[in-house]
Amino acid sequence: MRLPEQKLPKVAYFCMEYGLDNGLPIYAGGLGILAGDYLKAAKDLNVPVVGIGILWRQDYTTQLIGEDGYPYDLYPRYDYENVKDTGVTVKLRIRGGDVTCRVRLVDQYENAPLYLLDTNFEGSEHGWMTEKLYGGSGQDRVAQEMILGIGGVRALRALGIDVDVYHFNEGHAVFAGLELIREKMSRGMTFEEAWEATKKEVVFTTHTPVEAGNETHDYALLGHMEAFNGLTYEQLKALGGDPFNMTVAALRLSEAANAVSRAHGETARNMWKNVEKAAPIMAITNGVHVNTWQNPAIREAYKQKGDLWQPHLEAKKKLFNYIRTHNNVIFDPDVLTIGFARRAAAYKRGGLIFRNMELLSPLLKEGKLQLVYSGKAHPHDGQGKAIIREIVNIGKEFPNRITFLENYDMHIARLMIQGCDAWLNNPLRPLEASGTSGMKAALNGVLNISVVDGWVGEGVIHKESGWLLDRVLPEDPNQMNQDVYDLKAFYEVLLADVMPVYYVDRPRWTRMMQKSIEMAQEKFSSERMLKEYYEQLYLKAVAAQAKIPLALR
């Protein structure tokens, strides 16, 4: 897929978090990693993109494991000496005061320029606003979203950066739409005219597949925080309803919107079908940055059609060295090793396979299987932390067979998606909008064992490039209890196919590795994703702008 030869639209990409490098801990999980990969793809493709975000002084959380197996959170302060100061500041009104944001620049990770707003500097009374990612109260959250949206647009103006299209990655950036409308109304447009003109400039990516997960705000809180930004209650209600729904507002402020996989597209269209004046939702499946996540030795061996097993074994040993150093656990590189690493949320079912210890226990005791887990729970998510505790404590019963790596980050993710043999993915359908850890694993020939949800149905072919639990049993997983079906299907495919291939038919395993890498490189790169953004979202928005009467531009 090649981008069109014509002049490409200039894009400002708004996101609450970015995962570019371990040295810049301003990300919580998949949303941020996706945003970081997007900016790296933009640099690789040399397209006119800038990112807008926030410099979080206390990260998301440093999450460690207590003696009882329960996670606890620490919040170290980072000075970010590696982040440049542009010398530019912007101001906005929040909760009765003028808030000054310094604009910082990150461009040293082979990424398109990323501008970060920062209220945490000497003499500032408002440092609390950009302290913790996804932490604090409702007031903290609204203040942060105002800084990202309103402050982000003002930063672009102060930096002199021309923008054709504003891309909101999730609903957090919606207040940018209010600022764009306010600007146009200050030049004499009516609210309706300004809304219509703003729609032609905005595109939106939705990631949340359940309605309850989409953020809403009470108008009393918005009024207290001065988030109306010069608009009236009636005008805000026309955009986001009452209470103010950030996703609904984003859909009504956009020319076009996208879900993050084909399956999620169906879910999202069904979920928002009754929202009037909403942008059409298409599907543009997420992708991952190949050079960031693929092991260079695996890449070279695949390219030269050489032996994949030796570089895989080296990556496996590297992971096991980390496990030994940090957890004092010794894993055997000859034993089948399955990895599971992602946000610790109940729907991802991290503890599912432990519900049949009758089958699992002998495999562990006889040295036929090893399990590596990692992930963080939201600091306030007791259920997610309980899942981690369960895994950690079961691991204590099987030393040198199950381990949990604390404080999941990009470094641990890279070790796991390169060093495990297989990758387990068993969320409740249809709650995984996309999921990208399995894409990264596939890039390294780490074979997915997965339910069909999110991206998986678009890539993995059962018994060729991985294993699909939905294809294992004769029953329809959607017509029975998913826990019962997937537990049975997992052990069926593990015992009947995965383990025999791993231990008896190494040539078939390496052929499957090759198919997995081919599939991931061709279909699930962030370059492919960004090209589709240009073709299906950005150019569409610019074409719509060309139809606006000159008097309203």
> Are 432 and 503 members of one domain?
yes
> Are 359 and 441 members of one domain?
yes
> Are 283 and 295 members of one domain?
no
> Are 248 and 279 members of one domain?
yes
Average pLDDT of span 344-364: 96
pLDDT of 11 higher than 70: yes
Q: Identify whether 501 is part of a domain.
A: yes
pTM over 0.85: yes
Strands 71-74 and 62-65, how do they pair? Answer: antiparallel
Domain containing 418 equals: 290-524
pLDDT for 549 equals 61
Q: What is the pLDDT of residues 364-375, one digit of tens each?
A: 999 999 999 999
pLDDT band at 243 (very low <50, low <70, confident <90, very high): very high
Q: What is the pLDDT of residues 197-239, one digit of tens each?
A: 999 999 999 998 877 778 999 999 999 999 999 999 999 999 9
> Are 213 and 309 members of one domain?
no
pLDDT for 6 equals 65
Average pLDDT of span 138-149: 97
Mean pLDDT score of the chain:
96
pLDDT band at 479 (very low <50, low <70, confident <90, very high): confident
Q: What is the pLDDT of residues 280-317, one digit of tens each?
A: 999 999 999 999 999 999 999 999 999 999 999 999 99
pLDDT of 147 higher than 70: yes
Contact 195, 185 (CB under 8 A): no
Q: Identify whether 403 is part of a domain.
A: yes
Q: Identify whether 78 is part of a domain.
A: no
pLDDT band at 548 (very low <50, low <70, confident <90, very high): low
| H or E element in which residue 85 lies | strand 84-94
> Are 48 and 161 members of one domain?
yes
Lowest mean pLDDT among 306-310, 479-483, 500-504: 479-483
> Are 382 and 253 members of one domain?
no
Q: Identify whether 476 is part of a domain.
A: yes
Q: Identify whether 83 is part of a domain.
A: no
CATH number at residue 325: 3.40.50.2000
pLDDT for 135 equals 86
> Are 368 and 406 members of one domain?
yes
The rounded distance, in Å, linking the Cα atoms of 519 and 513 is: 10
> Are 275 and 310 members of one domain?
no
> Are 256 and 194 members of one domain?
yes
Question: In whole angstroms, what separates CA 344 from the centre of its chain?
Answer: 14
> Are 313 and 414 members of one domain?
yes
Which burial class, exposed, middle or buried, applies to 304 when counting CB atoms under 10 A from its CB (0-12, 13-18, 19+)?
exposed
The rounded distance, in Å, linking the Cα atoms of 253 and 431 is: 25
Q: How many independent structural domains does the chain possess? A: 2
> Are 283 and 199 members of one domain?
yes
Q: Identify whether 443 is part of a domain.
A: yes
Beta strands in 256-401 (DSSP E): 256-259, 281-283, 336-341, 369-374
In this structure, the chain runs to a length of 553
How many other β-carbons are positioned within 10 Å of the β-carbon of residue 220?
Answer: 9
Lowest mean pLDDT among 28-42, 96-110, 261-275, 470-484: 470-484
Average pLDDT of span 87-94: 98
Between 162 and 478, the higher pLDDT residue:
162
pLDDT for 546 equals 84
CA-wise closest residue to 117 among 146, 79, 138, 81 = 146
pLDDT for 2 equals 63
